[in-house]
Structure formats: structure tokens, C-alpha cells
């Protein structure tokens, strides 16, 4: 029996030489499944209190190589490679169309997937993230986040090699030149009003470049999806459930 919040179904997927732990809440529920991509060094147990509260659909996530229940990768990988790995897993799960939500590092990967696999993503939610990943230290900066210090959350579960490879995958990465091509993709951008790791100005950059994107500044600092899990889960669900015509007019 799983001790992870919501008791998801846990499996291991072997793709392109990687073995990745996958968790699925409400497996097989009707509608478009939601893929959640976590921050650097964070495993699926850290995300579980948030994901277990997103009802009415299947929600799934995975541990990146060297994080949580996924062993280290043998070789470094880049953003396009890990995006392809994630979407291969989506195929194996029978998910031809997905909604995607990404937090911090995972928000960059969510953008990469939307750009790399046009037509496969129905909606996108970007949280505490950026269109430019210039330095690998963002995961360590989160260790000093006000919310984390106050809550006692244990976010980092990665091996040293797992952190190094995950950081290196996004060094110099940028989506700026490609975001205008996502104009047909309904996007919600959530940023923490006290986030000192990824300030709200980065969310403004995203919203300005994705035509029709909705930007909201929410209470909390960098870890707001976890420390304000109930409110964020509700907001994500409301966005995904909003009728297309209403969203387009917003």
C-alpha cells in the first residue's frame, strides 16, 4: 500500500536506457489527464499533497533520473531528450493528449514539451517558472525559501549526480524565441508574490509572449504550490474545467 498522499498507483517505466518511477492518481479517469512536472531535485512524494487534491481527472507525475525512486542516468541528458522520454511514457499510458502543469524547473520542461510536441498538449499551467534558465543553482536557492523554512517541507531527494544532470539539462535553455508559437495553447501562469527564487517578472515575460495567457500573482513564495496546496489545486482544476469560449474571452 502506498504511503504517498492519495495512494497513487506506482510503476517503473524503462525508456531509452532510463528507469523512471511514475505515479498515477485516479488512474483511468475520463477526460484529459494532467501531467505534473516537479522542480529540480523534488520527487513525486513532495508533489503528492497537491496532486491528490486535483480531482475529476487522472493526474500523473514522475521522478527525474537520480531523484526519489528513479536511479541515476548513466549519461547526461538535455531538455529535448527528457521531453521525448516523458512523452514516450505518456504514449505507453495511453495518453495521446495531455494537460501539463510544471513547477520551477518542471515549468521549463513543460514549455519544452509544448514546443516540441505541438498538438499533444491541450492546456498548460506554469508555476514559479521562467522562459530563461541561465544558471543551475535554482534548486539550492529554493532550500532557503521562506515557505520551506517555515513549513519544514523536505523537497530535495536527489543524488548528487541526479542534481548535476538535472541542472545541466537546462543550463542556457530558453523558450523566448518559441513562445509566440503557443498562441493556440490556453495557458495559466501562477507566480508567488514573495518568490525570491523566481520573481514575478519572469511570469510577466511568459504571459507577454504567450498570446492569451492568464497571469496571476498568488500568496506565498517559491514553494507556494506545496505550502498552499488546496488553493492551488482548486485554481488548476478551475482553469482546466473552464469552457473553451469563456477562457478565450478572458
pLDDT in tens, 210-231: 999 999 999 999 999 999 999 9
pLDDT band at 153 (very low <50, low <70, confident <90, very high): low
Read off φ and ψ for residue 43, nearest 5 degrees. -105, 180
pLDDT more than 90, % of the chain: 81
Dihedral sign, Cα of residue 184, residue 31, residue 219, residue 146: negative
> Residue 183 in 3-state DSSP?
coil
Q: Which three cell numbers stand for residue 153?
A: 517541507
Residue 133 is predicted with a pLDDT of 87
Q: How many CB atoms lie within 10 A of CB 234?
A: 14
> Residue 121 in 3-state DSSP?
strand
pLDDT band at 146 (very low <50, low <70, confident <90, very high): low
The C-alpha atoms of residue 131 and residue 162 are separated, in whole angstroms, by: 22
Q: Please tell me the pTM assigned to this model.
A: 0.91
Which tens digits make up the pLDDT trace of 45-88?
999 999 999 999 999 999 999 999 999 999 999 999 999 999 99
Which of 240, 200, 237 minimizes the C-alpha distance to 97? 240
DSSP-assigned letter for residue 204 = H
- Residue 240, C-beta contacts closer than 8 angstroms, at least 6 positions apart: 32, 34, 57, 99, 123, 125
Contact yes or no for 125/236 (Cβ under 8 A):
yes
Residue 138 is predicted with a pLDDT of 47
Which tens digits make up the pLDDT trace of 158-211?
899 999 999 999 999 999 999 999 989 999 999 999 998 899 999 999 999 999
pLDDT band at 243 (very low <50, low <70, confident <90, very high): confident
**Alpha helix (H) residue ranges in the chain:** 44-51, 79-92, 105-116, 138-141, 146-151, 160-169, 200-209, 224-227, 229-241, 244-249
Contact yes or no for 130/202 (Cβ under 8 A):
yes
Amino acid at each position: 500500500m502506498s504511503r504517498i498522499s492519495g495512494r497513487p498507483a506506482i510503476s517503473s517505466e524503462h525508456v531509452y536506457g532510463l528507469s523512471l518511477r511514475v505515479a498515477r492518481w485516479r488512474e483511468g479517469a475520463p477526460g484529459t489527464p494532467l501531467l505534473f512536472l516537479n522542480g529540480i531535485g523534488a520527487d513525486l512524494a513532495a508533489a503528492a499533497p497537491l496532486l491528490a487534491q486535483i480531482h475529476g481527472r487522472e493526474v500523473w507525475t514522475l521522478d527525474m533520473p537520480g531523484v526519489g525512486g528513479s536511479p541515476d542516468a548513466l549519461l547526461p541528458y538535455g531538455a529535448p531528450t527528457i521531453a521525448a522520454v516523458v512523452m514516450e511514457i505518456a504514449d505507453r499510458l495511453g495518453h495521446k493528449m495531455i494537460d501539463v502543469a510544471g513547477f520551477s524547473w518542471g515549468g521549463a520542461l513543460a514549455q519544452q514539451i509544448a514546443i516540441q510536441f505541438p498538438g499533444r498538449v491541450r492546456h498548460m499551467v506554469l508555476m514559479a517558472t521562467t522562459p530563461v534558465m541561465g544558471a543551475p543553482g535554482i534548486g539550492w536557492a529554493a532550500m532557503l525559501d521562506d515557505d520551506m523554512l517555515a513549513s519544514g517541507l523536505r523537497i530535495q531527494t536527489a543524488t548528487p549526480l541526479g542534481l548535476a544532470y538535472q541542472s545541466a539539462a537546462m543550463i542556457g535553455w530558453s523558450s523566448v524565441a518559441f513562445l509566440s508559437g503557443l498562441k493556440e495553447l490556453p495557458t495559466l501562469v501562477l507566480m508567488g508574490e514573495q518568490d525570491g527564487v523566481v520573481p514575478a517578472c519572469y511570469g510577466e515575460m511568459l504571459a507577454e509572449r504567450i498570446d492569451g495567457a492568464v497571469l496571476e500573482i498568488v500568496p506565498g513564495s517559491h514553494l507556494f504550490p506545496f505550502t498552499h496546496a488546496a488553493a492551488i489545486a482548486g485554481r488548476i482544476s478551475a482553469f482546466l474545467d473552464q469552457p473553451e469560449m469563456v477562457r478565450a474571452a478572458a
